Amino acid sequence: MKSNFTVPLTKIIKEFSLEELYVPENLDELVISSNEVNRPGLQMAGYFEYFDEKRIQIIGKAEESFLENFSPEKAESRMRELFSHKPCAVVVCRNLEISDKFVELAREYSVPLFRTENSTSSFASALIAFLNLNLAPRVTRHGVLVEVYGEGILLLGESGVGKSETAIELVKRGHRLIADDAVEIRRVSDKSLVGTAPDNIRHFIELRGIGIINASRIFGAGAVKLTEKIDLIINIEQWDVNKAYDRMGLERQTTEILGLKIPSLTIPVKPGRNLAVIIEVAAMNNRQKKLGYNAAEDLLKKLGMTDEETEDTNSVEPF
């Protein structure tokens, strides 16, 4: 899949501790733009239709065994044709022995060549996961991301509504902070959004009247986390006496981010309301819904009521 983003090849080398068999002089300038990889068995057989040179090529035991069926001259010819298409990088797994001719071909066509001790399948799956995260479509939202009872909760709302203060209270209660003020959200799959903080403001929180604090330094390393999947979005707003809020929990609200609809709630702020406790309950209730249990629907069944009979009750103005 093509991406508008890139990841430096040097970052991949560091992440997977790859052994450098040959690297071009411009290594620092090389980037990867595809989150898909390829095992070039078909190419070694001479089929290059639909070959994507932007994919990292992974060579394992099967490919090595396939080449051993050829004479040295024919094997070299097949590998020369592969390298002549100039793939962005080639990685040999299982610490397989590499002939000097293999390295010479990489040097001749300026193709980065690496080796890893990992098995082919485990390396491929780990590399795909890494590329999916680093090349994922992304957007930055003004808000706070916290982990509450294992649920990723994204708090949204206008400045000054109390998002950061609520995050501090949640951290004090044993939960973890991922990002404050700016949340970088990435779509890592067709079903998942993952949030993190920009590197330069990670773990910092702004508290009006106090200033900037470092949550990791004050509350310890266990109070923060680098990334978290977004399971629930909570919109915090000032209480509006003229607005009817959902009182039963039967309405299935969602907020769309990067094309995915995430379950959401709107929680009004009012003196005397403990937002931290409310968000804890919202996180636990969201987990129950994912497991198939809805308390509101269960109550209606016990009362012998239908959804239509609750419409008036659900829209009553708060008292």
Whether the CB-CB separation of 143 and 193 falls below 8 Å is answered with: no
* pLDDT at residue 312 in the model: 52
The answer to whether residue 251 scores a pLDDT higher than 70 is yes
pLDDT, tens only, 151-195: 999 999 988 888 999 999 999 999 999 999 999 999 988 889 999
Q: Answer yes or no: is 162 within a domain.
A: yes
Q: Can you say how many angstroms the Cα of residue 36 is from the centroid of all Cα atoms in its chain?
A: 16
Could you list the residue range(s) of the whole structural domain that residue 287 is in? 138-314
State whether 85 and 204 are in the same domain: no
Q: Answer yes or no: is 173 within a domain.
A: yes
Of 88, 118, 134, the position where a domain reaches its end is: 134
State whether 213 and 142 are in the same domain: yes
pLDDT, tens only, 269-291: 877 778 999 999 999 999 998 88
Query: What's the CATH number where 127 sits?
Result: 3.40.1390.20
Q: Answer yes or no: is 257 within a domain.
A: yes
Q: How many domains would you assign to the chain?
A: 2
State whether 155 and 115 are in the same domain: no
Rounded Cα gap, residues 40 and 48, in angstroms: 9
* pLDDT at residue 1 in the model: 46
The answer to whether residue 250 scores a pLDDT higher than 80 is no
State whether 282 and 235 are in the same domain: yes
* pLDDT at residue 319 in the model: 36
State whether 50 and 158 are in the same domain: no
The answer to whether residue 49 scores a pLDDT higher than 80 is yes
State whether 103 and 193 are in the same domain: no
* pLDDT at residue 310 in the model: 53
- How confident is the model over 134-158, as a mean pLDDT? 94
State whether 240 and 147 are in the same domain: yes
State whether 142 and 130 are in the same domain: no
Q: Answer yes or no: is 319 within a domain.
A: no
State whether 129 and 210 are in the same domain: no
Rounded Cα gap, residues 89 and 127, in angstroms: 13
Neighbouring-strand partners of residue 19: 115
State whether 144 and 265 are in the same domain: yes
Of 89, 104, 134, the position where a domain reaches its end is: 134
Q: Which two tokens stand for residue 134?
A: 């680093």
Q: Which long-range contacts (CB under 8 A, 24 or more apart) does 304-308 make?
A: 307/250
Q: Taking the model in full, what pTM does it have?
A: 0.76
* pLDDT at residue 318 in the model: 42
The answer to whether residue 2 scores a pLDDT higher than 60 is no
Catalytic machinery residues: 142, 163, 181, 247
The answer to whether residue 248 scores a pLDDT higher than 80 is no
State whether 68 and 206 are in the same domain: no
* pLDDT at residue 80 in the model: 94
Classify each residue of 274-294 as buried b or exposed e, where b means 16 or more C-beta atoms within 10 Å of its C-beta.
ebbeebbebbebbbebeeeee
- How confident is the model over 102-131, as a mean pLDDT? 95
Q: Which residues contact 146 (CB under 8 A, 6 or more apart)?
A: 152, 153, 155, 167, 170, 171, 175, 176, 177, 178, 279
Percent of the chain at pLDDT exceeding 70: 94
Greater confidence, 228 or 307?
228
Rounded Cα gap, residues 138 and 233, in angstroms: 17
State whether 260 and 222 are in the same domain: yes
pLDDT, tens only, 198-247: 999 999 998 888 999 999 999 999 999 999 999 999 999 988 777 777 77
Rounded Cα gap, residues 187 and 136, in angstroms: 6
pLDDT, tens only, 63-103: 999 999 999 899 999 999 999 999 999 999 999 998 899 99
